[in-house]
Structure 1
């Protein structure tokens, strides 16, 4: 198992994806917000669970044993796509009617956009580094 810079960057995103919802939502602004109706909490739970499952799935594809160069490349693309889905969904949520990135009682703005931009940069960098490493490995063999 290789811990290359690309895999490390993608693993950081995978761990952020798997745990971020619980870190940022398991508090008075979301899960324990008395003003939120039960159905809103249900969907927040759905979002946290989805992030957890996407992060774990990406880690599986990043570190599974692959027997061919084609399988390694496919695993890298799959992990990258899985990691991107959660953050694309988070950004797109602001486009739905009546939605706000932050409840007015807790401030304003769109702080998630900065988090997403940073994680997309890590995803792109991690993919690029790992893709280059795999190409080099193929040429060497």
Structure 2
């Protein structure tokens, strides 16, 4: 295989041309540095939104399943109740991890915000 031409990158069998911005900066980093995406962690509104989604998911599982139709249903087998409790505890623990990633680590870490966003989306 021939090498990729100048200003291009080989990705597998394909050659992809890199965009060359006028100011000479890397296109992707320039876009991220130039917009508010690189400053998301400094905005408490974004963290509060992710925290609200996390708490709603963790508490929602407990509120929805801790009743006579789910965990206290006498017609459910113990194995089914176990899996329901396992799902509820997973939601609570995932919520706790998200809150720790958002608010518990100092100094601010952009990677922690990314992981908290991914975890909240699942």
TM-score tier by shorter-chain length is 0.5 to 0.7
| Structure showing greater Rg | 2
Structure 2 gaps, min length 5: 1-41
Aligned partner of 2:73 among 15, 33, 55: 33
Q: Which has the larger strand fraction? A: 2
Partner of 2:59: 19
TM-score (normalizing by structure 2): 0.61
CA RMSD of the aligned region, Å? 2.0
Partner of 1:74: 111
Q: The residue matched to 1:56 in structure 2 has which SS? A: helix
**In the alignment, does 2:120 pair up with 1:83?**
yes
Q: Distance in 1 between matches of 2:43 and 2:55?
A: 15
Bigger relative contact order, structure 1 or 2, given CA contacts below 8 A and separation 6+?
Answer: 1
Partner of 2:3: none
C-alpha displacement of 1:20: 1.3
Q: Which has the larger helix fraction? A: 1
Aligned residues: 82
Q: Distance in 2 between matches of 1:73 and 1:33?
A: 44
Q: Distance in 2 between matches of 1:31 and 1:64?
A: 32
